[in-house]
Amino acid sequence: MQTTLALPDAEQQAKVVETLDDLPEPESIDDLSGLFSSGTPIVTTLSPILQEQWFISTVNPAAPLIKMPGLWLKPGFRLVSYLYRSAEGSGVGVVWAVPEEFGTTAQLEKAVKEKHNIAQVPRPEGALGHVMEAIEGDRSAASFVLASILRRELQELGVLGDRRNWAYHHLIEGIPAKYNWQWRTEIPKDLSPKVRLYPDGHAAVELFSCRISGTKTLYRHLDRYPPDSYKPDSLDKMLAVEQVG
């Protein structure tokens, strides 16, 4: 089983703001919301040999970076992924950034030996602590927005069934009017995506999404980036739920 990531030709332009409370509404974030898609249909059957165990994925998780302006993979590194598939059709995945010398098939296979339990996540030798530590960029506003989405997509690469989360989130730039909302916080005035670049090199990204699976739910996603990395501190906060009945 394999899942691939693909990017459309359209590029989303992020806007720089002085404060996260002061940003003109963008024309559209439709392309941003659809940056990643399944390039290959998900195969629902596997050889019994590959069921109930971890195996190396043939997918290149770094492929989207080819069409992501302002972001790139650090020289000397590659991204690799492992998948786990159960006989019932559920599954999980994990993506690691490894030095190229540890990215050979022989090296990667060492990590899956004796890993027959879904909780025993394989970690190849030399892997960085977080996949985003292998990402570099031009520190532009657009690069931070793309990094925020890339991280969430990589985190869920290969996940199936009820273990999926981000796959059910649609980025929004306004409150969906066709639902009645029960707000858990103060109603935000502006749901457009925002980026703030600080003089010391820090950056912050604010995005909003609607989770469409089950009870509709609105979320605020806040990522704060240090001056020397694209690995953020993230906060995903529920804002409102659909009022049914």
Distance of alpha carbon 148 from its chain centroid, rounded?
A: 7
Span 45-92, pLDDT tens digits: 444 456 778 999 988 999 999 889 899 999 999 999 999 988 777 889
Q: For residue 229, name the pLDDT band (cuts at 50, 70, 90).
A: very high
Closest Cα partner for 155 from 98, 92, 103, 102?
92
* Pairing of the two strands 16-17 and 194-197: parallel
Residue with tokens 């670049």: 197
Best mean pLDDT range from 65-69, 113-117, 139-143: 139-143
Q: Structural domain tally of the chain?
A: 1
DSSP category for residue 199: T
Distance of alpha carbon 18 from its chain centroid, rounded?
A: 26
**Percentage with pLDDT > 70 across the chain:** 78
Amino acid making up residue 160: L
Amino acid making up residue 93: G
What are 241's strand-pairing partners? 182, 217
Closest Cα partner for 188 from 237, 233, 235, 243?
237
User: What torsion, rounded to 10 degrees, do the Cα atoms 179, 185, 191, 193 define?
Assistant: -130
What's the CA gap between 123 and 126, in Å, rounded?
9
What does the block give as tokens for 190? 């502006």
- Burial of residue 199, with CB atoms counted within 10 A of its CB: 0-12 exposed, 13-18 middle, 19 or more buried: exposed
What's the CA gap between 8 and 114, in Å, rounded?
39
Please provide residue 229's backbone torsions phi and psi, each rounded to the nearest 5 degrees. Answer: -160, 155
Residue 174 belongs to domain spanning: 5-242
Q: For residue 8, name the pLDDT band (cuts at 50, 70, 90).
A: very low
* Pairing of the two strands 169-172 and 203-211: antiparallel
What's the CA gap between 37 and 7, in Å, rounded?
7
Half-sphere exposure of 163 (CA within 13 A, CB side): 16
Span 24-45, pLDDT tens digits: 333 333 444 444 443 333 334 4
Reported pTM: 0.80
What's the CA gap between 24 and 193, in Å, rounded?
9
